[in-house]
Amino acid sequence: MNKDCSIVQDLLPLYAEDMLREETKEYVEGHLAQCEACRTELTALKTEDVTPASVSAQPLRDLKKQLQRKRFTAVLLAVALALTLATAGFAYLTAPQYLPYDETEWMITRSPRALADGSIMADGLTDLSGIESISVNLLTPVSGTEVTSTQDPDSGKTVYFITAWRTPLDTWRGAFDKTGDAPNARSANDRTQREADALQGALGKVESARTLFTLDTANCAAVYYSPNNGQDDVLLCGSRDSGIISMPRLALGYYVLLSLALLIPLSIAFFLCRRKKAGKALGHLALIPACYLTGHLLVKGFVTTSYQMQRDFSLIVLTAALLYAAALLAGTLLRQRRDTAE
């Protein structure tokens, strides 16, 4: 192969695609007219079966998987947020609204019945001597009651404390609208009708009375009603001195202070190390007290005391856990969107 053949064969691909200048094209054609080897090379070049490079479908499959993961993460985030709002709503709708004593009515039933008529209002039953047992009945319709007890250090007998409450949910449902209603206004001028309505209302209250407990008076010093509003507890029966106030639990306030004490240094450490390897771990740790504080705000607002510590703390922890999961899912979703965009 001479020098001209080498030059022409290098130009043959361009010649076959008609991409040469006119002068160069004439030179190649002149050489091809005289060189059998170059004509053979050109024929082979034109008849060569060029198979296009196979296109891999793997990038498309990877993109599909990324989109599916992003969609799944978005669904989990929506579920976590919905559960958080549902928990906060449940906490509000079932929050106890304690009734003051003047909004409640009580009936104490005692045994043996030979002592009196069998039932009197609480204020009249102060001497429990000679009474075998008493039943404490609440005539007022309520959402819930709670009975706690403690030991009297002087007599060694048991002192009982009763609380009663209504919830916003039951109030909105109208659960207390009909029981114990006042007499019908249409009969206000009819004395007989008023008396009949009053008697019917009283009988209705007795029939719907809620017996809270029956106890043996031999071991009972007194029974109190606790309004849980900072006022003195009211003595329902017994002879113990008054002046007792049921105080709320203060632990939630301590948990708030502890969360703040953890959140501040962890946030500072995260800000200083956010571009380092430990930044991610510090960020996750800082989310824990932040979510607890947010959960407390959703469940209790700015109130840090509680008369139902177990209920309130459980709802706060559940709300905080859902918020923490939502925060992690939100971060994951942002990273997935960033990776997809890249």
- The pLDDT score that the predictor gives to residue 104 is 80
pLDDT digits (tens, 9 = 90+) for 156-212: 888 889 999 999 998 888 766 654 443 343 444 454 544 444 444 444 444 455 677
Residue 114 has pLDDT above 50, yes or no: no
Sign of CA dihedral 305, 307, 309, 315: negative
pLDDT of residue 195: 45
Per-residue model confidence (pLDDT) at position 241: 66
Contacts of 333 (CB under 8 A, 6+ apart): 70, 73, 74, 77
Does 103 have pLDDT greater than 50?
A: yes
Look at residues 241, 64, 224, 67 and name the one whose alpha carbon lies nearest to residue 136: 224
Per-residue model confidence (pLDDT) at position 175: 65
Q: Return the residue matching tokens 């030991």.
A: 151
Q: What is the pLDDT of residues 65-99, one digit of tens each?
A: 888 888 999 999 999 999 999 999 999 999 999 99
The helices-and-strands tally (H runs, E runs) of the chain is: 9, 9
Asked if pLDDT for residue 232 goes beyond 70, the answer is yes
The H or E element containing residue 29 is helix 22-34
**Strand order in 133-138's β-sheet?**
119-120, 106-111, 133-138, 210-216
Residue 286 three-state SS: helix
| Best mean pLDDT range from 203-207, 232-236, 326-330 | 326-330
Which pTM value belongs to this model?
Answer: 0.69
**Helix or strand or coil: residue 148?**
strand
Flag whether pLDDT at 125 surpasses 60. Answer: no
Q: What is the DSSP letter of 143?
A: S
Exposed, middle or buried by CB within 10 Å (0-12, 13-18, 19+), for 276? exposed
Q: What is the pLDDT of residue 314?
A: 97
**Mean pLDDT of the 337-342 span:** 73
For 28-37, write each residue's pLDDT tens digit: 888 888 888 8
The Cβ of residue 106 has, within 10 Å, a number of other Cβ atoms equal to: 24
Q: Confidence class of residue 57 from pLDDT cuts 50, 70 and 90?
A: low
- Per-residue model confidence (pLDDT) at position 287: 96
- Average of per-residue pLDDT across 321-329: 96
pLDDT for position 184: 40
- Report d(CA 264, CA 113) in Å as an integer: 65
Residues of the chain with pLDDT > 90, as a percent, come to: 35
Residue 1 confidence (pLDDT): 59
Which one is predicted more confidently, 116 or 49? 49
Highest mean predicted confidence (pLDDT) among 240-244, 257-261, 333-337: 257-261
Among 124, 298, 305, residue whose Cα is nearest residue 229:
305
Q: How far is Cα 26 from Cα 3, in angstroms, rounded to an integer?
A: 17
b/e map 113-132, b = 16+ CB within 10 Å: eeeeeeebebeebeebeebe
